[in-house]
Amino acid sequence: MASPVLRVYWDTSVFLSFINSATEAQRHHVCVDILKHAKEGKVVICTSTFTIAEVVRPKGTAHPLPLSPQEVSDLNGMFQWPWVKKYQVDENVAMRAAKIARDTNLKPADSIHVATAIAAACDVLQRWDRDFDKVKSLIRVEDPVLISPVGLFDPV
């Protein structure tokens, strides 16, 4: 019997770490590993269509630098990969997000991610943002981790 496929929800911060390989090498390595498993059908990566808009301006940056043409191309291509499943922010997700924001004091944008992860029946919400710790009672929340065994010569 085949083991069940892990359904992970990626918050915007994970996608940003993937494209920022020069400044976030360790996190990029973890993302690449998870994406490899997703491409092989062992993991399903889920995200909200809201993520597509949110990645253009990283959280906490008042005056972000414009994305380079290569970064724009990378982002557009990434959201076309068949192993990244995108979910719409429909009325049900929006209503659940509003309740989550009210009940947990989570920012509305982050509550959209949580509501989408729940609606998509994800096993875990992966993020590099501590704000999501507020919703650990609703869904498992963790930093992304390597799936492949760490080899002797792999970066750690």
Place of tokens 């995200």: 47
Give residue-wise pLDDT tens across range 95-149: 999 999 999 999 999 999 999 999 999 999 999 988 899 999 999 999 999 998 8
Predicted TM-score (pTM) of the model is 0.88
Compare 149 and 83 and report the one with higher pLDDT: 83
List helix spans (H) across 1-156. 12-19, 25-39, 50-54, 69-78, 91-104, 108-119
pLDDT tier, 65 (very low <50, low <70, confident <90, very high otherwise): low
Q: Residue 56: is its pLDDT beyond 50?
A: yes
Place of tokens 């994970």: 14
What's the average model confidence in pLDDT over 5-29? 90
Structural domains in the chain, CATH included, are: 6-59+66-142 (3.40.50.1010)
What is the residue-averaged pLDDT of the chain? 88
